[in-house]
Chain A
Amino acid sequence: DGGITQSPKYLFRKEGQNVTLSCEQNLNHDAMYWYRQDPGQGLRLIYYSQIVNDFQKGDIAEGYSVSREKKESFPLTVTSAQKNPTAFYLCASSRPSDEQYFGPGTRLTVT
């Protein structure tokens, strides 16, 4: 299961707190992605980055922020502005025009 890692596996936060999810890859992929997975809704794209210091909003970016200071790292911050943050978050990376490699995911619960 090496290549792309996410930490922690489970994360619990109180409502109103920002929380940062980690994603690291050693596959030398330029592109990285964040998805949110809810039951029955598939994978929805939050943000993606094609190159260091550049990223684009996906379909559901509101209430989230990202940074891409290093090729290997693409952390996601879930802010207090995200109205329904409890979900399973998946990070992925890829080469151009190729499959996406997913991390093991972080299950975030906000109460």
Chain B
Amino acid sequence: GENVEQHPSTLSVQEGDSAVIKCTYSDSASNYFPWYKQELGKRPQLIIDIRSNVGEKKDQRIAVTLNKTAKHFSLHITETQPEDSAVYFCAASFSGGYQKVTFGTGTKLQVIP
């Protein structure tokens, strides 16, 4: 089955700096890669996703890049703000019908004011 590895497990950045979280996956059939943000005590919520026919996608301060050959994808947050502090999860699945999603182990991001 699919295996998703996520690094780093914790990340501290100064406010205004950029943050990068990296994930690798094992199943070359995976073609849907969402990123979820989970604030303390709350539910995970989708912040951005990318499908395998696209190499990069951007939404304001957040961007995701995908390298299918190397089987890795990354989340980039620019101009970080204290409200970006949360746990971020990457995930991978095959988007044929109802997918079984495999999640990474999460990255706890702390933005220091």
Contact = CB atoms under 8 A, between A and B. Distances in A.
Interface of A: 30-31, 33, 35, 40-45, 48, 50, 56, 58-59, 90, 94, 96-97, 99-100, 102-105
B100 A48 contact: yes
Contacts of A35: 103
Nearest to A49: B98
Contacts, number: 53
A42 B97 contact: no
Contacts of A42: 6, 89, 103-106
Given A40-B106, A58-B100, A104-B43, 15 more contacts: A31-B98, A42-B6, A42-B105, A43-B89, A48-B100, A50-B97, A50-B98, A94-B99, A96-B98, A97-B96, A99-B34, A99-B46, A99-B49, A102-B45, A105-B43
A94 to B, nearest CB: 7
Contacts of B106: 40, 42
A96 B42 CA distance: 24
Most buried by B among A50, A56, A99, A104: A99
Interface in B69-105: 89, 95-105
Nearest to B42: A104
30 contacts: A30-B98, A31-B98, A33-B101, A40-B9, A40-B105, A40-B106, A41-B105, A42-B89, A42-B104, A42-B105, A42-B106, A43-B89, A45-B102, A48-B98, A48-B100, A50-B97, A50-B98, A56-B100, A58-B100, A94-B98, A96-B95, A97-B95, A100-B34, A100-B46, A102-B43, A102-B44, A102-B45, A103-B43, A104-B42, A105-B43
A44 to B, nearest CB: 8
Given A97-B32, A97-B96, A97-B97, A43 B46 contact: no
Given A40-B105, A103-B43, A96 B49 contact: no
Given A40-B105, A97-B32, A45 B100 contact: yes
Nearest to B102: A45
A101 to B, nearest CB: 8
B11 to A, nearest CB: 14
